[in-house]
A and B are shown apart, each in its own frame.
Chain A
Amino acid sequence: MADEKDIFLELRHISKQFGSFTALEDINLKIKKGEFVCLLGPSGCGKTTLLRIIAGLEKPNQGQVMIQGKDATALPPGKRNFGIVFQSYALFPNMTVRQNIAFGLKKYHLSREEENKKIETILDQVNLISQIDKYPMQLSGGQQQRIALARALVVSPDFLLLDEPLSALDAKVRQKVRKEIRSLQQRLGITTIMVTHDQEEALTMADTIVVMNNACVMQSGSPVEVYNHPQNPFVADFIGSINFFRNDLLASANLTSDRELVEGLSLNSMSLKACRPENVEIVEPRSLNSFNAVIHDVEFHGYGYRLLLELSGDNTPVNSDYLSFDVSSEDFFRMGLEKGKPIAIRFKRGCICYFNSEEDTLAGA
C-alpha cells in the first residue's frame, strides 16, 4: 500500500442514485500525487458520474471525497482547485482563444501584462500560440482540445480532470493528442484523472487503470496488471480480446503430461477459463497437450491474421462460436494456413487465466 502522505485524492464509500437508478455503489479509491488514472468502462458504468463527483458537479448520496487529506465533499467546484476538460470541450464560441483562456483568470485581478504572460506561457505549452486571436470554431478538433486543456491549466490547478477528451477526434489525430496529453501531464507532474471507454487509450496513457462496470469498480491496477492478470471475466473480456471456456478442455486434448496445463485445464471444471488470442500457438499434430482444430475463417488485420478455429469435441468458447487465434503474416504463409485446413494448437504455458465465477458477466454479452 502506498504511503498515506502520497495520497492526493481518496474516495470513501461513494454511492450515487438517480431516482431508482444506482449510478455508483460503494466506490473506494486512492489516487497518488502525480498519478495518471484512467476510469475505464462501458457507457453507463458510472465513470463520468464519478468524475463529476470528484469535480463537485454532482453530490454523492453517501461517502466522502478527500482531497489532500481534507474532506471536500461539500466544497463547491470552484474551491477544489482543479482544471477540467469536457467531452465537448465547451469552449465559448463567441470568444477568441485568448478570451477563452482569460475567462478563469479574471478572479485573480492580474495586471494586463501578467495576464497576457500567463496566457502566452500556457499556449506555448500546447503549441498554439499562433492561434491566439482565432475563434474556437475556426480551429481543428485537435486544436480545440488543446485550447480547452490550456484553459483548464492556466489557473495552475492542483489536479486535472478529463472527460473522454479524445472521443470527438479522428483516429489519427487521437493518437497524436494522446501522446501530447501524456507528455504534458508528465512534464507538469499534475495528478490527472481521465474518463474513457477506449481500452487502448487507457492502456497506453495511464499509470493506473480503474475498470468499472455496473456502478462498481471491477479492478484497479497498472495496465500490465489488468491486461495480464484480470481479476474477473468482465475485465478480461473488456480489455483486449479473449476466449472463454467453461467445459473441461482436458477431455478432448491429445495425450498430456504437463502438470501445469493439466491443473489449469481440468481442475475446477465449473470455473471459467480464458486465453488471449496471442497466447495460442500452432504445434505439430498429436503433440502433447494439443488440441485438434479446423480453420473456420480467416480475418486479415493488417499486422497479421486472426484465425477463427473450430475446436474438436465439445469445446466451443463461451463468448463465441469459434476460438480466436492471432498469427503473424509470416507464420501464416510459412505454414500455408487457409480456410478448412485442420491444425493442432496449444495454449501457451502460464497464459491461461481462470476465474471462480458462475456468472456470465462478460463485457461483450
Chain B
Amino acid sequence: MNTTKTKKTHNPAMIVQRVLMLIMLGWFVVFLILPMLTMFGQIFTDDFGHWVGLKNFAEYFSNPLLFSSIGHSLQISLVTATCATLIGLFYAYGITRTNIRFKRAFRYLALLPIFIPTMVHGMALIYLFGRTGLVTTRLGLDIGLYGRTGIILALIVYCLPQSYMVLSVALDSADNRLYEAAEVMGASPVRTFFRVTLPSIRYGLINSFIACFTMSFTDFGAPEVVGGNFNVLATDIYREVVGQQKMSMGAVVGVILTIPALVSFILDLAMKKKNERNELSSKATAFVPKKSRARDAFYQIFCGAQVLCFILLILTVAFSAFAKRWPYDLSLTLNHFNFGAALHGTGVISFVNSFKLSLGTAAIGTVLVFSFAYLIEKGKTMRGLAGTCRFLSTMPMALPGLVLGLGYIMFFNKPWLAIPFLGIEVANPFSGMYRTFSIMILCTVIHLFSVTFVTASTALKKLDREYENVAESLGMPFWEVFFKVSLPMSVSALLEIFIYFFVNAMVTVSAVVFLYTAANKPASIAILNMDDNGDYAAAAAMSILIFIINVGVRTVYEFVNVLVRKRLNRWRGTET
C-alpha cells in the first residue's frame, strides 16, 4: 500500500530561506575562509609562490631582531593586561558597589578612549612626556617615554574601557542574598571580599585579562607611534609587508600574532560552557551598598582621577591641535584644521573617506549581522549549516585586524585561484575588488563581526521562538515575522550594532592598513602618516575631528535610544 513515496511539498518560503542560507555561507567562504587559507598557505611558500616547507619559520627564528619581538610583545601585553584589569576592577567596583556620586557620568566617561584611534593615546603621551612634550620641556621631567613605557601607558588607556565593561557586568550580577548571609554569619568585609565577591567575578577577571592581553598583543597604533626602537610583532608585520614587500615573512609573523587570540578564543569557549552553571538565579536580589564614608571617599577619588586622566589626554590632543606651535607657542589658531600643508592637502579627503567607511561599514554590517543572526537563530532549514555559520561568526574574534587585512591583500590580489588536488586554475572572480573602497568596508565588517553578532543573536534569542511557528501554522512566510515582529522588536539591538560598527570603523587602523590606497585613505591612517611626517598638529587636529564625530554620533544614539525605549514602553502599557 505504501507505494507512493512521501513527496516533497513545495514551500516557497523554505526555498527562499535555503537560498539565503547558501548566500550566508558564500559570504563567509569568500570574505573569511579563503583569505585566511591563502594567508596560512603563504607561510609555506616563498614570495613567488614556490613551496619551501618550513624554511620561512627557520629564517624567522634565526633572525634575532625578528625573534626578539615575541618577547617584547609578550612583555608589554602581560604588563598592560595586569594593570588594566586591576585599575578596571577598582573603577568598576567603585561604580557598582559603593555610594559614590556622579555614577552616571562615570559610566559614560569610562568609555572616552574608545572614540579615538589607539595611536592617539600614544600621541597625547608624546605631547606631554615626549622629547618636546609639555612636561618634558617646561618641567624638565623626562620619563623616558619612547619604547616600552610609552607603549604600555598608551595600551592601558586603550584597554581600560574594555576591562571596565567586562568587570562591571561581572560585579553588577551580584546576589545580595549572599552578602546578607555573610553578614548574618559575622564575616569580616575582607573575608567577604575573598570568599564571596572574588569567586563570583573570577570569570570576569580572567575574561578581562584575556581581552586586554589580546588587544595589546595585536595593537599596531601605539607601538608605531611611541615604540621608538622597541620592536613588537604588530610593527614587524607592517614593516615586512609594506616596507620590504616580504609577504611570506609577514604571514609568518601574522601566524605568531594570531596565537594568543586563538588560545583565548578556545579558552573563552571552554569557560562559557563552565560558566553557564554559574549564572545568576532569577531569585537573586540586587546588591545594595552599605554606608561607608572612607570607602566612598577612596573610590570617589580613584574614579575621579581616572576620568581626569582620560580628559587630560584628550584635552592635550585638542590643545595641541589648536596651539600655534605646541608646546612653544600656545596661542590658539584654527590653521591646523585645513590640512593644507599636511599630506599634500589630502586631509579633508581622508576625513570624508573615514566617514564613508564608517557609514558603509555600519549600514552593510548591521544588515548582514542581523539577517545572518536571524537565519542562524530562527531559521528552520539546514540547521547543520546554521551551526557551522554560528561558529564562523565567532571566528573573527580570534583574528587580529592586521592578519585579516594581510589575508585580504593576499587573496583578492591573486589573479588566479588554484583549485587544490585538481591542478586547475581559474580566474579569481573577486580580484576586481582589490584596491576598492568596498574591500575596506567588507574587511572592517568581518573584523567587527563577532561582537555585533553576539548582540544580534542575544536580542533574537529573547524573542519567543514560537513567533515563526505561529506564522508557519497560519501559512505566512517567515519574512512576515522578520519584518513585522523581529525587526521592530530589535531596534535597540540594531542601533547598538550600528553604533559599534560606526565608532570602531572610524578608529580602526589594523584592518585597513594593508588595504587602503592613496585615493581612499581613511583618517585614522592619515593620522599615522602625518605623525610619521612630523605634522603633529595636523595629526592632532584630525584626531579631534574623529573624536567629535564619534561622540556626536554616540550622543545622537543615546537620544534615539530614549525614543525607542518609549515606544517599547507603549507596547508594554507602562507609559505614564
User: Which A residues are within 8 Å of any B CB, using their own CB?
Assistant: 55-57, 71, 73-79, 82-84, 86, 88, 90, 92-95, 103-104, 106-107, 134-135, 137-138, 151-152, 155
User: Which B residues are within 8 Å of any A CB, using their own CB?
Assistant: 4, 6-9, 11, 14, 464, 466-467, 469-476, 480, 484-485, 488-489, 570-573
Question: Are A74 and B8 within 8 A (Cβ)?
Answer: yes
Which of A71, A78, A92, A138 contacts B473 (CB under 8 A)?
A78
Give 19 A-B pairs besides A78-B476, A86-B470, A103-B480 with Cβ atoms closer than 8 angstroms: A74-B6, A74-B7, A76-B9, A77-B469, A78-B11, A78-B474, A84-B470, A86-B466, A86-B469, A90-B470, A92-B484, A103-B471, A103-B474, A103-B476, A103-B484, A104-B474, A107-B474, A137-B572, A155-B474
With A73-B6, A76-B9 as known contacts, state yes or no: A90 contacts B571, CB within 8 Å. no
Question: Are B467 and A90 within 8 A (Cβ)?
Answer: yes
Q: A138 — nearest CB in chain B belongs to which residue?
A: B573
Question: Are B9 and A135 within 8 A (Cβ)?
Answer: no
Q: Could you list 16 examples of A-B contacts with CB < 8 Å?
A: A76-B14, A76-B472, A78-B472, A78-B473, A84-B470, A90-B464, A90-B466, A92-B484, A94-B489, A103-B471, A107-B474, A107-B475, A107-B476, A135-B570, A135-B571, A151-B470
Q: How distant is the Cα of A135 from the Cα of B567 in the complex, in angstroms? A: 12
B278 to nearest A CB, angstroms?
25
Question: Are A94 and B470 within 8 A (Cβ)?
Answer: no
A88 to nearest B CB, angstroms?
5
Q: A74 — nearest CB in chain B belongs to which residue?
A: B6
Give every chain A residue within 8 A of B8 (Cβ-Cβ): 74
Give every chain B residue within 8 A of A107 (Cβ-Cβ): 474-476
Rank and list the top 4 A-B pairs by shortest CB-CB distance, nearest first.
Answer: A78-B475, A138-B573, A104-B474, A90-B466
Q: How distant is the Cα of A107 from the Cα of B108 in the complex, in angstroms? A: 48
Give every chain A residue within 8 A of B464 (Cβ-Cβ): 86, 88, 90
Give every chain A residue within 8 A of B473 (Cβ-Cβ): 55, 57, 77-78, 82-84, 152
Q: B470 — nearest CB in chain A belongs to which residue?
A: A90
Q: How distant is the Cα of A114 from the Cα of B467 in the complex, in angstroms? A: 25
Question: Are B470 and A134 within 8 A (Cβ)?
Answer: no
Question: Are A104 and B475 within 8 A (Cβ)?
Answer: yes
Q: How distant is the Cα of A138 from the Cα of B569 in the complex, in angstroms? A: 10
Q: How many A-B residue pairs have CB under 8 A?
A: 86
Q: How distant is the Cα of A74 from the Cα of B5 in the complex, in angstroms? A: 10
Q: How distant is the Cα of A350 from the Cα of B469 in the complex, in angstroms? A: 48
Which of B6, B467, B475, B573 contacts A92 (CB under 8 A)?
B467
Q: How distant is the Cα of A83 from the Cα of B472 in the complex, in angstroms? A: 10
Q: How distant is the Cα of A57 from the Cα of B466 in the complex, in angstroms? A: 10
B421 to nearest A CB, angstroms?
34
Q: How distant is the Cα of A146 from the Cα of B475 in the complex, in angstroms? A: 21
Give every chain B residue within 8 A of A55 (Cβ-Cβ): 469, 473
Give every chain B residue within 8 A of A152 (Cβ-Cβ): 473
Q: How distant is the Cα of A86 from the Cα of B470 in the complex, in angstroms? A: 8
Q: A82 — nearest CB in chain B belongs to which residue?
A: B473
With A92-B485, A135-B571 as known contacts, state yes or no: A79 contacts B475, CB within 8 Å. yes
B348 to nearest A CB, angstroms?
43
Q: How distant is the Cα of A78 from the Cα of B480 in the complex, in angstroms? A: 14
Question: Are A104 and B469 within 8 A (Cβ)?
Answer: no
A337 to nearest B CB, angstroms?
40
Question: Are A94 and B472 within 8 A (Cβ)?
Answer: no
Which of A71, A77, A103, A151 contacts B472 (CB under 8 A)?
A77
Question: Are A134 and B466 within 8 A (Cβ)?
Answer: no
Q: How distant is the Cα of A92 from the Cα of B489 in the complex, in angstroms? A: 9
Give every chain B residue within 8 A of A135 (Cβ-Cβ): 570-573
Q: How distant is the Cα of A95 from the Cα of B481 in the complex, in angstroms? A: 11
Q: How distant is the Cα of A106 from the Cα of B7 in the complex, in angstroms? A: 28
B66 to nearest A CB, angstroms?
49
Which interface residue of B474, B480, B489 has the most chain A CB atoms within 10 A?
B474
Give every chain B residue within 8 A of A155 (Cβ-Cβ): 474
Q: How distant is the Cα of A197 from the Cα of B133 in the complex, in angstroms? A: 75
Q: How distant is the Cα of A86 from the Cα of B471 in the complex, in angstroms? A: 12
A83 to nearest B CB, angstroms?
7
Which of A71, A74, A137 contacts B573 (CB under 8 A)?
A137
Q: How distant is the Cα of A281 from the Cα of B11 in the complex, in angstroms? A: 63
Give every chain B residue within 8 A of A106 (Cβ-Cβ): 476, 480
Q: How distant is the Cα of A204 from the Cα of B489 in the complex, in angstroms? A: 39
Give every chain B residue within 8 A of A134 (Cβ-Cβ): 573
Give every chain A residue within 8 A of B570 (Cβ-Cβ): 135
Give every chain A residue within 8 A of B11 (Cβ-Cβ): 76, 78
Question: Are A94 and B571 within 8 A (Cβ)?
Answer: yes
B471 to nearest A CB, angstroms?
8
Give every chain B residue within 8 A of A90 (Cβ-Cβ): 464, 466-467, 469-470
Q: How distant is the Cα of A55 from the Cα of B473 in the complex, in angstroms? A: 7
Question: Are B9 and A79 within 8 A (Cβ)?
Answer: yes
B10 to nearest A CB, angstroms?
9
Which interface residue of B11, B476, B484, B571 has the most chain A CB atoms within 10 A?
B571
A203 to nearest B CB, angstroms?
27
A151 to nearest B CB, angstroms?
8
Give every chain B residue within 8 A of A84 (Cβ-Cβ): 469-470, 473
Which interface residue of A83, A95, A137 has the most chain B CB atoms within 10 A?
A137
Which interface residue of A56, A94, A134 has the most chain B CB atoms within 10 A?
A94
Question: Are A57 and B572 within 8 A (Cβ)?
Answer: no
Q: How distant is the Cα of A79 from the Cα of B472 in the complex, in angstroms? A: 9
Q: How distant is the Cα of A107 from the Cα of B7 in the complex, in angstroms? A: 25
Question: Are B9 and A74 within 8 A (Cβ)?
Answer: yes
B251 to nearest A CB, angstroms?
41
Q: B474 — nearest CB in chain A belongs to which residue?
A: A104
Q: How distant is the Cα of A255 from the Cα of B9 in the complex, in angstroms? A: 71
Give every chain A residue within 8 A of B472 (Cβ-Cβ): 56-57, 76-78
Give every chain A residue within 8 A of B488 (Cβ-Cβ): 94
Which interface residue of A71, A93, A95, A152 has the most chain B CB atoms within 10 A?
A93
